[in-house]
Structure 1
Amino acid sequence: MAEVQLDNLPGEVNDLPEGAQNIFKAAFKSAQEDGISRDGAINIAWNSIKQGYAQGEDGKWYKVPQDSNTHHKPITSGGN
């Protein structure tokens, strides 16, 4: 199996916040270790970033706040 190359990642990864960089690198490494191509691993890593970060209009990446109310609303009946 080929060694995982983290030093050849897209330059945009360096522009990510540190936490997002860590997520990207971990997802990329895991995908590569599973035998996924470099391009496939990069796509998986970007999708992992987009789960918790969003790119602002200024081009910078920001952590998306988690809305705990969205996922734990009680279900109420609609009447008769």
Structure 2
Amino acid sequence: MPYASNADLPANLREKLPVHAQDIFRAAFNHAWRDHSDDAEREAIAHRIAWAAVKHRYEKLGERWVERR
């Protein structure tokens, strides 16, 4: 299901990702959700696309997600 705001994201994402990364995740997820409306694996696909979008701008260093340089 699409996320209306970052507050609607799963708790583990809100706790681990910086706010900007949450924005990226939410926007990418919502876009993928709309684009794959006919796919039985819609939610899984949207999550994979959203994580790929986050990893394009952020990387995990230890336990923290930081913006790529």
Q: TM range, normalised to the smaller chain?
A: 0.7 to 0.9
Gaps in structure 2 of 5+ consecutive residues: none
The CA distance in 1 between the partners of 2:52 and 2:60, in whole Å, is 13
TM-score (norm 1): 0.67
Q: Which runs of 4+ in 1 moved over 6 A?
A: none
TM-superposed CA distance for 1:11, in Å, is 3.4
Determine if contact 2:57/2:67 at 8 Å carries over to the other structure. Answer: yes
TM-score (norm 2): 0.76
Root-mean-square deviation (CA), in Å?
A: 1.5
Using the aligned pairs only, state the percent identity: 35
Gaps in structure 1 of 5+ consecutive residues: 66-80
Looking at secondary structure, tell me which structure has more strand per residue: 2
Structure having the higher Rg: 1
Looking at secondary structure, tell me which structure has more helix per residue: 2
